[in-house]
């Protein structure tokens, strides 16, 4: 089991992986269509984008959480 102190980093890793996979897949198909090289191009794009998405979520995540806390009314 992973210690709880790594929960934010694990969330960022999984969320960035899933979101970058979906977004690069859609963008790749839109840009080049479906063909024999689509999957390879998609994986190359995903491999490039995932680390960037991970750093962005780690960096901006706390600010987004604070923004959401200001926008949402606490439950009573």
> Of the candidates 55, 32, 56, which has an alpha carbon nearest to the alpha carbon of residue 44?
32
Q: How many domains is the chain partitioned into structurally?
A: 1
Residue 24 domain flag: yes
In a domain, 15, yes or no: yes
* Site of tokens 């689509």: 38
Q: Is residue 76 part of a domain?
A: no
44 within a domain of the structure (yes/no): yes
Provide the whole-model pTM.
Answer: 0.85
**In a domain? residue 52:** yes
pLDDT per residue as tens digits for the range 13-36: 999 999 999 999 999 999 999 999
pLDDT (0 to 100) of residue 76: 81
Identify the band that residue 9 occupies on the pLDDT scale cut at 50, 70 and 90.
Answer: very high
């Amino acid at each position: 089991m992973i210690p709880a102190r790594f929960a934010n980093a694990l969330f960022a890793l999984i969320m960035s992986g899933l979101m970058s996979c979906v977004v690069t897949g859609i963008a790749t198909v839109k840009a080049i269509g479906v063909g024999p090289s689509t999957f390879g191009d998609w994986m190359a794009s995903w491999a490039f984008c995932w680390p960037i998405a991970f750093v962005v979520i780690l960096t901006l995540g706390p600010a987004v959480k604070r923004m959401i806390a200001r926008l949402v009314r606490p439950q009573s």
